[in-house]
Amino acid sequence: MKKTWIEKLGLGKEKNIIILSPLEGVSCPISEVSDPTFSEKILGEGIAIQPTKGEVVSPVDGTVAIMFETKHAVSIISEQGTEILIHVGLDTINLRGEFFKAFVKANDKVKAGDLLLQFDMDKILNAGYDVITPIVICNTNKYLDITTYTGKSVKKLDQIMVLKNKDRL
């Protein structure tokens, strides 16, 4: 089948981008997160997961942009250019890395399912912190629409978001 000139130039619509769950737990709307930075979508659209296991895997194939020194958050840029922030817990930066272990560093290439970090949920909860984990698309404006799948139990690598690309013409 012949390609049109639009397809040959790589213009036109690209496929939707699927974001997989980086952890196990129950998904909920990001608007329900008690921190306004997330609930008011200041950093972007997304979803939150109340984790049932203290492991975070890569939700996409891509590159680690930032592994925060405190290991409570990681930013990944997918192969399609999606900027994803995974932020374990609320105000957990104050733990200064305690109860967290990183398995990647900035500029590491990752595949969906690769282990990024582990965290001790019980110790974080006992220290008085919420472990709800926002997953934010930081370049939300790049997408026409972001569909989130909330209100259900999710396992690692279950589909949690679909990003609809804007027409590139």
| Strand arrangement, sheet containing 55-57 | 55-57, 115-119, 100-102
Beta bridge partners of 119: 100
Among 19, 21, 47, 87, the active-site one is 87
Assess whether 87 carries a catalytic annotation. Answer: yes
44: its two tokens: 């972007």
Inter-residue contact 56 to 119 (CB < 8 Å): yes
CA-based nearest residue to 154, from 31, 57, 21: 21
51: its two tokens: 């984790």
As annotated, the active-site residues are: 87
